[in-house]
Amino acid sequence: MYHGLQHPDRLGADAVAAFLSSLAMRDGVSASTQNQALCALAFLYQHVIGRPLGSLPAITRVRTPPRLPVVLTRQEVRLLFEHLSGIPHLVASLLYGSGLRLLEGMSLRVKDVELERLEIVVRQGKGRKDRVTMLPSSAVPALRRQLEVARQLHDADLTRGFGRVVLPDALDAKYPNAGRSWPWQFVFPAARICRDTRWGPPSRFHLHETVVQRAVTSAAGATKIPKRVSCHTLRHSFATHLLEDGYDIRTVQELLGHSDVSTTMIYTHVLNRGGLGVRSPADRL
SS (H, E, C) 79-100: HHHHCCCHHHHHHHHHHHHHCC
Using alpha carbons only, give the angle 197, 202, 205 rounded to the nearest 5 degrees: 100
Kindly give, in sequence order, each residue whose CB lies less than 8 Å from that of residue 145, ignoring residues fewer than 6 positions away.
Answer: none
Among 250, 16, 205, 240, CA closest to 103: 205
For each of the domains in the chain, give its residue range(s) and CATH number, in order of start.
1-65 (1.10.150.130), 68-278 (1.10.443.10)
Strand arrangement, sheet containing 131-134:
113-114, 119-122, 131-134
Active-site positions read 101, 126, 232, 235, 258, 267
Spatial distance between the Cα atoms of 62 and 212, rounded to a whole number of angstroms:
32
Instruction: Give the model confidence (pLDDT) of 58-89 as tens digits.
Output: 877 877 777 788 999 999 999 999 999 999 99
Q: Report the predicted TM-score, pTM, of the whole model to 2 decimal places.
A: 0.78
pLDDT class of 279 with cuts at 50, 70, 90: low
Residue type for 134, please?
M
Residue 275: what pLDDT? Answer: 46
Among 163, 180, 162, CA closest to 171: 180
Instruction: Give the model confidence (pLDDT) of 125-160 as tens digits.
Output: 777 788 999 999 999 999 999 999 999 999 999 999
